[in-house]
Copies of this chain bind each other. A is one copy, B any other.
Amino acid sequence: MQRGSFQWMKSLNKSIILNKIRTSEPISRAQIAKETKLTPPTVGTIVKELLEQQLILESKLGESQGGRKPTMLVLNTSGFHIIGIDVGLSHIQFVISDLSGKVIDETEEVLAEEVTKEDFLALLTNGVNRLKERHDSLQFIGIGVAMHGVVESESGVSIFAPNLRLRNIPIKSHLEEVFRMDVKVENDAKAFALGEAWFQGQINHRSMVAVNIGRGIGAGIVIDGKLYNGEHGIAGEIGHMTIDINGKKCSCGNHGCLQTLASGPAIAERAKELLEKGGESIIAEWINEQELSAELVHKAALQNDQLAIKILHDTGVYIGIALTNLVHVWDPSIIIIGGGVSKAGDYIMTSIKETLVERTITEKAKTTLITISQLGSYGSSLGSVALILSELFEPTLL
């Protein structure tokens, strides 16, 4: 446990003030003192330090409250930059972000079908180098990496990356050695969750869950602004939550996992079954030319195809049931939905919400907020940026 010392006290107060500025900018010294219960002189000296470190800036004067005008303080968002990396299925996305989560520039590397560890690490180095060279005047404070599969975040090693068919890639140590800056690696669903917390003002929620539904289903859990990993690093694996003990077999070996009912492939699968049973749908005409996919089902729904609409509706019900379980176990204040399925928008969201309200057992729980992610294609990249930011804004242990 962290012991109390002078440095710790200082670091704690500094972090409190910095975060207050971040979340409430522009704000005056006096206002900070009121809201944090720190005394004005304490705020003064710490603000002075933050100004010297260029982490914040003094902006123009604010409105008078009946006396001297306050000098407002703002975060120096463009004073430092962070490189965020999202390792996707076929591409690696690299972004440069400022402290506010604004993307300044981006680039990409293509993932070949077969890559070795060395190939992969070289791709990471290349992408980062390209961005750094384009912006050599900027000061970078760290690199965040969002990686699919199983990641051991403390060591920054990708334990197992199914899509790359690679194991034990030492991402953190490699990048730290090459670029000599702070590197954080995390599972993409978890990084995504942290990103939502940081850049969507969701950080105020004591407990939030971000669910990523695409080819697979994963969730990241953020408590008090920090990622919750669980004891064995699998907290949030709701794709393998059993909701139908007599259901279909899942790749994990169990039956009736959420993933067998509501992932992208599962949607296509259900459509196929319904068509085989003789269901009427325009999808039947399309699949001669295209492969049956979740996107196709969505496309059909947009043309008011009843079978497609029902499939999406049912998908929402399944997700809703899983989220109800989540609420009954974890009880977060907000649930954010992202990933491919979220593009199907209202067709699915409506039934998710209805299901949740219908099934949760108390009135209060029915008020749990559910929204769709607003970060778009930068979701996981900005999440990896947030990995670095969350460290910057936290008190440093001493």
- Chain A contacts to B: CB under 8 angstroms: 1-6, 8-10, 12-13, 16, 19, 36-38, 150, 205-207, 219, 229-238, 240-247, 252-254, 256, 318, 321, 324-333, 358-362, 364-365, 367-368
Contacts and interface: CB of A to CB of B under 8 A. Distances in A.
Contact of A246 (B10, B244, B331): B244
A325 B229 CA distance: 15
A20 B396 CA distance: 23
Contacts of A229: 331
A242 B240 contact: no
Given A237-B328, A243-B242, A330-B329, A232 B13 contact: no
B234 A362 contact: yes
Given A243-B242, A252-B361, A333 B231 contact: yes
B4 A233 contact: no
Contact of A232 (B9, B242, B321, B367): B367
B231 A362 contact: no
B328 A365 contact: no
Q: Which of A9, A16, A238, A331 has the most B CB atoms < 10 Å from its CB?
A: A331
Nearest to A321: B242
Most chain B CB within 10 A, of A36, A237, A333, is at: A237
A19 B3 CA distance: 12
